Chains A and B, each alone.
Chain A
Amino acid sequence: MTATVYSLTAIVFMAMVTFLLGYVGSRKANTTPDFLVARRAIPASRNAAAISGEYLSAASFLGVAGLVLKDGVDALWYPVGFTAGYLALLLFVAAPLRRSGAYTLPDFAEARLGSVNVRHFSTFFVVCIGVLYLVPQLQSAGLTLTTITRLPAWLGGLVVTAIVVVNVLGGGMRAITLVQAFQYWGKLFAIAAPTFVLFVVFLASPNRATQPLSDEGVVRFPQAETITVAEQVVKVRVDEPLRLRVSGQINGRDADGPVFWGRGVYELSPGTTMEFTAGSPVPVVEGSPTTNEAWSRPQTGGISELVRTYSLIFATFLGTMGLPHVLVRFYTNPDGKAARRTALHVLYLLGLFYLFPTVLGVLSKLYLPQLLVNGKTDAAVLMLPETMLPNLGGQILGAIVAAGAFAAFLSTSSGLVVSVAGVVSTDILPGKVRDFRWATVFTGAVAIALAVALPRSDASLTVAMSFALAASTFCPLLVLGIWWRGLTWVGAVCGLVVGGGLVISAQVVSVVSSYTGRWAPAFITQPALITVPVAFAIMIVVSKGTRRRVPADVSQILLRLHAPDPLGFIRDRDVARFGTAEEKARMAEGKRRGAGRAR
């Protein structure tokens, strides 16, 4: 009970700091460019911290350690891919995108290709990706709150949504920049401190009652354990026969009392309680390795595992550059060079952070094998401190971790809400500050409704799906748009529709398959390996076929995207559309002066 009090205090503290920083940031925010791109005046180091703060979502803070616990060394491809994506963004997109002067992704598409149609399609996919990414954040917030307080899951999502919406209403992008930058350092502390302490605890207790990882057999419970299945049906695989006591439903039939489980797959209904003895083998969620050997070695899952890994590499490497909430932060840089420096700084900050979840994942494999039974591995980071240190120290560490997790939901959700609201308000509504506020409320409402309605799956997996969607839609649009003169709006729209359509149908098929026996092959559950090349090919082929539609001013636009900043070709489109008369005049004067110098 005291632990709950500590954790709740830490979470409330985090929420208050968030409010306070949001308030400080929003005092001076009153124009549309403030709300959309924070007036493009954020210095590179703060922007990098804000980007990292926003990017390290529930999937990174809780999900990576959980996947390491479940899948072992192969799960490390997630943090590697999440980081490598920023390299691709730095190489291909960062500076030219900033120089385009656009204020949202659809705005860039229209500026480059000169067509409102491509703008509408981009808007649709921005909203899709944004919502697809928001839902797991809110669901994980629910999971966190249930894990520490037993309050209902929807409440956590609702609290996060409320805080985010209020903050964003106050000052849009300008308000959340400071919040997100602070939350990066908060999260780094919240994951680094427990890692150091728990690692020392691990080293200092040589006689601990855990199964050593060098033991290559099946995973076993270090002590007797009672486990209750939560709200969803779980399928577990048993590789070595065991005896246990059950009360509830197994494979759809009522069971009560001692039972014997041979090798095979068992379906556990919600509410089923199992009592395992110490040393008994751990039944593991279907699809994950059951032995320590398979867990600690890479690529033990055969060809389908190999395909899935390659698909994941593709999706994360190319998907990051297509995530609207990441891109919108690059528009806030003062110029192209600063955008590049920001991206490089992000690589450093992310690399630093991702060293820690891996260690926590390995430790939870030793101390928390019971999470492998009900599949709620996302909770590992939250439960580990108190399991390893059942005293005041553990409770305080647990509170720190809970606050860090909460920071992860808040900062990522803020970024997503701002980017989606920015797009909705400028493309669907007239784009005044009031429209931005309405769009914020609307986005929050839709996201929380979906989060409550949809079944929860692992945060990292859902997030990987939005990476695949981004990699198959906006990645080709940006890369070809920035580097290839021949792209036409017809080609871009065809590529967006086919790439996005393929990923969405793959998502639907794999959801259906997960309910009806997991028959979908790897290239459907992780589709990027196929959909990304297809989207690129379609954009190129259709553009070649519609060569007449290449915008007449394409050379001008490419000059603007690539010319070094000191030459002064940047013209910010948000100023042109929403700026005050004075700002517009200054922009026009700059142009005239440039022309005047020539004569």
Chain B
Amino acid sequence: MSRHDAGKPEQPARDAWLGEQGRKPRRRRVVLADSTKKSGKALRTIIELEEQTSVGEKLVRDLIRQQLKSAFGLAFAVLFGMCLLPITFYLVPQIGDLEFLGIPVPWLVLGVAPFPILYGVGWVFRRQAERHERDFVNMVDR
């Protein structure tokens, strides 16, 4: 199979999914004066996003970067926290002697504590992600 074929499968179906804007060559929009009304501007920003003008592309890139920063920060914190535990247990076996309410601390740390923490981190992420999206929509709709 030639490279050309592999890169362009069922082109009609893909075009239908991408919309007419996807097929057009990129068009750069030059705006000299902003004379439109409120709603007009919102629509134009949406079109700019779809046509990927330099402004539109910059907006999307910024949104993606923001979301990735939130996600990556939280994921790193959780993974780092989880990875810290086994090595701590390995290096400081005395932790196994500690008890809280008659239950050894490692059992509590692994059997109960992670679940509320994981939910809490998820909740924080959902809030951040939705705020980023709201800001984005507000900016487009302003």
Contacts and interface: CB of A to CB of B under 8 A. Distances in A.
* A and B interact physically: yes
Interface of A: 73, 76-77, 79-80, 83-84, 86-88, 90-92, 95, 101, 110-111, 114-117, 119, 296-300, 306, 309-310, 313, 317, 337, 340-341, 343-344, 347-348, 350-352, 354-355, 358, 483, 489, 549, 551, 553, 555-559, 562-567, 569, 571, 573, 576-577, 591, 594-595, 597-598
Contacts, number: 186
A549 B7 contact: yes
B127 to A, nearest CB: 10
B75 A576 contact: no
B44 interface: yes
B90 A306 contact: yes
B37 interface: no
A562 B86 contact: no
A88 B110 CA distance: 18
Interface size class for chain B? 35 or more
B7 A115 contact: yes
Given A344-B123, A558-B60, A567-B46, A591 B20 contact: yes
A558 B6 CA distance: 21
Interface string B82-97: 1101110110010110
Contacts of A347: 115, 118-119, 122
B17 A576 contact: yes
Nearest to A307: B86
Contact of B64 (A111, A558, A566, A591): A558
B72, B95, B129, B136: most-surrounded residue (chain A CB, <10 A): B129
A547 to B, nearest CB: 13
Contacts of B9: 110, 114-116, 119
B115 A83 contact: yes
15 contacts: A83-B118, A86-B118, A90-B125, A111-B17, A115-B9, A297-B89, A298-B95, A298-B106, A299-B89, A355-B111, A557-B18, A559-B60, A571-B18, A594-B46, A598-B44
Contacts of B46: 567, 594, 597-598
A83 B113 CA distance: 12
A187 to B, nearest CB: 16
B60 A483 contact: no
B122 A343 contact: yes
Nearest to A88: B75
B82 to A, nearest CB: 5
Contacts of B78: 84, 87
B47 A598 contact: yes
A428 to B, nearest CB: 15
A347 B118 CA distance: 7
Contacts of B75: 87-88, 91-92
B33 interface: no
B23 to A, nearest CB: 8
A298 B96 contact: yes
B112 interface: yes
Nearest to A83: B118
A528 B44 CA distance: 47
4 closest A-B pairs by beta carbon, nearest first, are A351-B115, A297-B96, A564-B133, A76-B110
Given A115-B7, A556-B50, A563-B136, 18 more contacts: A87-B121, A116-B10, A117-B6, A297-B89, A297-B106, A299-B90, A306-B86, A313-B83, A337-B133, A347-B119, A347-B122, A351-B114, A351-B115, A557-B18, A562-B67, A564-B133, A571-B17, A595-B21
B115 A87 contact: no
Contact of A337 (B10, B18, B130): B130
